[in-house]
Structure 1
Amino acid sequence: MEEKQERHLSRSLKSRHITMIAIGGAIGTGLFLGSGSAIHAAGPSLILTYLIVGIFCFFMMRALGELLLADPSKHSFIDSVKEYMGDRMEFVAGWTYWSCWLTLAMADLTATGIYLQYWFPSLPRWVGPLIILMLLMLVNMINVGLFGELESWFSMIKVIAILALIVVGLLMVIFHTKTSSGPASLANLVNYGGFFPKGPVGFLMSFQMATFAFVGIEMVGLTAGETANPNEDIPKAINTLPMRIGLFYVGSMLAIMAVYPWHDIKMTSSPFVQVFAGIGITGAAGILNFVVLTAAMSATNSCIFSTSRSLYSLSQGGNGPKAFQKLSRQAVPVNAMRFSSLILFIVVILNYIIPEGVFNVISGVSTINFIFVWIIILLCHIKYRKQAPAGNNFAMPGFPFTSWLTIAFFVAIIIVLFFIKATRLSLIISLIFFAILFLIAQIWGKQAK
């Protein structure tokens, strides 16, 4: 019994793991698959959208970093929410974050069945997700170090794909390589209706798509309790975020729209495939299919890790069942992981029953929930700075102006989502979900007393 009480989360994540987890969190299927429709909605101005959203996400991450380093002994940012905003907000934030990753992974996990059918056409769609989910559960059960290693390789594959795209695009522009739409040139960014071909409305509408591409970057905030050297590893991972944004998002969009005029980029397939195919790379579709399958597996891997740690922190704080505090001999929150994975199994099955239109709604709910969590992180950081005006050695730049400006920016995105027909239902569902969580938090709090 004493051994169980003294057991804590393992600090097995190395600096390389933390850096690659942060990178993996910032690169998802939204970039690989969703960029085609995003380009058609906003044109070249999408490049500016990614840059702006990236800057505000960087400020959010800096606030998160300072919050974590205020007390590296905390397991995750959810513990900080409890300290600075109280039990009820911890309950709401923790369970919201848990739902964020489940809804996000649901679409990705189900998509793996579709990706696998590219190579195995006769494979039933439910088989792929079942095998992959069980495999990733096993990996996460063994130890956190193996999770970090697997996530590092998943992230590396995505990074290589993006770097390859940028290099290929750059070479095509330098040598004015001819495509089906004409020669590759930077002039393609302005020659077809200007940099803002869809006007201010199209530019504003693109913020929702860009924000969805960034969800998950805060997952580094769940690794604090399992990082070997949080005081060095966390700042390093967060400070490299601007470089990643500039290179991966802005760089890839520049490459794609310089090679092909924005209106000639296909929505039915990934722009990455189109660029690779443009120079005659055989098997481009197969290569990208492997990359998007990896990205989907990475998202599911991150989901299993993040949801189990969220439930562990909630349980530690008295805002979840005590059974979720149980750790395996490998220092993995085993009951929390099993519960999240079980829910994930149910969701995957439901996705084969419910029409595909629900996927868009669930993705929208996930995005809104993530934004809600980001706002809580920023408010929590402001509370911390009121108690410690000097901050710490990883102080938020431009505080408090940048903190309030970032909150205003995220609130503005939520307001924009209300005026987009495709996301209005998602927003309403999210608001109802938040109201239910607050109500449960009130009841839970009274019972705890």
Structure 2
Amino acid sequence: MTEKPQLSRTLSGRHINMIALGGTIGTGLFLGAGDSIQKAGPAILLIYIITGFFVFSMMRALGELLLTDHNQTVFIGFIKKYLGDRAGFIMGWTYWLGWIIIAMAELTAIGKYMQFWLPQTPAWLWELLFLGVLYSMNIIAVKAFGETEFWFALIKIIAIVAMILIGIIMVVFHIRSEAGITQLSTLWQHGLIANHGHNLLAAFQMAFFAFLGVEFVGITAAETKDPLKTIPKSINSIIIRILIFYIGALLAIMTIQPWTNYSANTSPFVQVFSGIGIPAAAGIINFVILTAAASSLNSALFTTGRMIFSLSPKNSFFSQLNSHYIPMRGINLSTALIATVIGLNYIFPEDAFSMVTATASATFIVIYISLLITHIQYRKSDHFINGQKKFLMPFAPFSNYLTIVFMAGVFLILLLSPATMMTTILSIIWFVVLFIISLYKVRVQ
């Protein structure tokens, strides 16, 4: 039988490292940190460390799987291989839909962010422009996508590093801000836990959401020049990035100003830069958040096109590549679906999209759990027993089970929290519907 055409390997280690790094830094940090701090206080630092540890554990399981067969187009192929066709079908289309929904929400956000500077221009114009440019980047060459994502990630990193350096300088030299003299004791002078710990569980949920997209390195594996070298390096550096970019930024934020000063409705980055006398703070952070949204949209176009390519039967319409070895037909379909949000914005209020995004986030938890179960099954298979053992996940399968329990706990928090109960129920309904469809689709294939 004719094999599927192969994707090109043009993403360098520089691209993969930045893609993996960018996947762990998003609007969840720039916009959501204020809400997280308000709910947990300085205890949010411990919550991010704990959550980051389990996310890293999941990524080590994924990394080991990727190195057993780095020709897999996307990591969903491993789920299909070790958990069966039905599980691969359900998780594959769930992952595709999740990224489509996220892309719709990010595209809507881009229109709003551009209106910050040009309020008289229609949001749909900017949405169409950004979608067109990023679509072009995705169909020209894989390297063009990698280069775009590299610069998007770099902008986010510069903003966070600037925050950390400002915090260090202000603490060392006791520089005064609107909140008073900056000193390390500012971190704990109003207590270490907000609201007597009543909202700590909700903070776990929010910290987990901030890490969504970290698995994106698993989508780029088939287009990496040297996967045996770059994938382990990128995954191992995740824990360092978590400590520096999340813990470092939050530590600086809560040291420069008391954590009680921050509002859930305002980016703490804006509050900090404004508080130290930078009048353009809101504009600067709006630009950074805009690039974060564009980065997520860029990743969505890349991911969804390859998901359709991976899920399509051999010799089918969507299993073909263009002259640049890019699944252009899959990207075209995904782009067309994402573009419908431009019209839908006239009909539905923006709250509807934030609600649907939360639904996608709940489904990501199930995908992560399925990855960990896939790794457990791989360890029991002949492929592991008789194969070369590379980049082994530490303490498996105990670490698998522990991580599964943690992620199931986050899902339970989503299900029991009034704010996210309905969206979590919608995600459960989605899985039930897909399972029913798979009873027919998988049987006839």
Match in the other structure for 2:145: 147
Q: Secondary structure of 2:394's partner?
A: coil
Is 2:319 aligned against 1:325?
A: yes
The residue that corresponds to 1:9 in the other structure is: 7
Alignment of structure 1 residues 21-40 onto 2, 5 Å: 21-40=19-38
Partner of 2:97: 99
Aligned: 1:224 with 2:221: yes
Q: Per-residue CA shift, 1:180-204, capped at 9, x if unaligned?
A: 2222222222221x21122333111
Stretch of structure 1 that moved more, 381-390 or 366-375: 381-390
Contact 1:40-1:262 at 8 Å conserved across structures: yes
Give the match's secondary structure for 2:198.
helix
Residue 61 of structure 1 corresponds to 59
When normalised by structure 1's length, the TM-score is: 0.95
Whether the 8 Å CA contact 1:168–1:276 is kept in 2: the answer is no
Structure 2 CA distance for aligned equivalents of residues 402 and 352 of structure 1? 47
Contact 2:415 2:424 in 1 (8 A): yes
Which of 281, 285, 291 pairs up with 2:282? 285
User: What SS is found at the alignment partner of 1:421?
Assistant: coil
1:382 to 371, 376, 384: 376
Work out the CA distance in 1 between the residues paired with 2:205 and 2:342: 25
Matched-pair contact (CA < 8 Å) for 1:385–1:391: no
**CA RMSD, 1 decimal:** 1.7
The answer (yes or no) to whether the contact 2:175–2:182 under 8 Å persists in 1 is yes
**Deviation of residue 267 (structure 1)?**
3.2
Q: Tell me the residue number matched to 2:400.
A: 403
Residue 182 of structure 1: which of 180, 183, 190 is its match?
Answer: 180
Shift of 1:261: 1.1
1:171: which partner in 2? 169
- 1:373 match: 367
User: What is the one-letter code of the residue matched to 2:34?
Assistant: G
Structure 2 residue runs of 5 or longer lacking an equivalent are none
Counterparts of 1:89-128 in structure 2, within 5 Å, are 89-128=87-126
Show the counterpart of 1:196: 193
Amino acid at match of 1:325: S
Q: Deviations over 1:137-171 (max 9, x none)?
A: 01100011110011011001101110001101111
Deviation at 1:348, TM superposition (A): 3.7
Deviation at 1:176, TM superposition (A): 2.2
CA contact (8 A) 1:211 1:367 kept: no
Amino acid at match of 1:370: F
Specify the SS of the correspondent of 1:228. Answer: coil
The one-letter code sitting in structure 2 at the alignment partner of 1:445 is: V
CA change 1:386–1:421 in 2 (3 A) is same
Matched-pair contact (CA < 8 Å) for 1:78–1:90: yes
Kindly indicate whether residue 357 of structure 2 is the aligned counterpart of residue 358 of structure 1.
no
- Kindly indicate whether residue 266 of structure 2 is the aligned counterpart of residue 269 of structure 1: yes
Quote the residue 2:234 is aligned against. 237
Counterpart for residue 77 of structure 2: 79
Moved more, 53-62 or 271-280: 271-280
Q: Which residue of 1 aligns with 2:410?
A: 413
Q: What is the alpha-carbon distance in structure 1 between the residues aligned to residue 263 and residue 195 of structure 2?
A: 17
2:338 aligned with 1:344: yes
| Mapped contact 2:10–2:142 kept (Cα < 8 A) | yes
Query: Corresponding residue for 2:244?
Result: 247
Identity of matched residues, %: 45
| 1:49 positional shift | 1.1
SS in 1 for 2:10: coil
Task: Quote how far apart the aligned CAs of 1:300 are.
Answer: 0.2
C-alpha distance in structure 2 between counterparts of 1:391 and 1:130, whole Å: 48
Q: What secondary structure is seen at the aligned counterpart in 2 of 1:357?
A: helix
- Mean Cα displacement is larger for which, 183-192 or 85-94? 183-192
> Contact between 2:178 and 2:276, CA under 8 Å: does it hold in 1?
no
Moved more, 297-306 or 182-191: 182-191
SS of equivalent to 1:22 = helix
The CA deviation string for residues 218-244 of structure 1, in whole angstroms up to 9 with x for no partner, is 010011111111100100100000010
Corresponding residue for residue 424 of structure 2? 427
Q: Give the secondary structure class of the aligned counterpart of 2:273.
A: helix
Runs of 5+ consecutive residues of structure 1 not aligned to the other structure: none
Distance 2:318 2:24 in 1: 28
Q: Distance in 2 between matches of 1:363 and 1:71?
A: 32
Q: Against the structure 1 CA distance between its residues 282 and 228, is the aligned structure 2 distance closer, same or farther, given a 3 Å change threshold? A: same
Offset at residue 5 of structure 1 (A): 6.6
Alignment-mate amino acid for residue 239 of structure 1:
N
Asked if the contact 2:179–2:275 (Cα under 8 Å) also holds between the matched residues in 1, the reply is no
Residues 11 and 226 in structure 1, CA contact (< 8 A), matched pair in contact too = yes
Cα pair 1:151 1:301 within 8 Å, conserved: yes
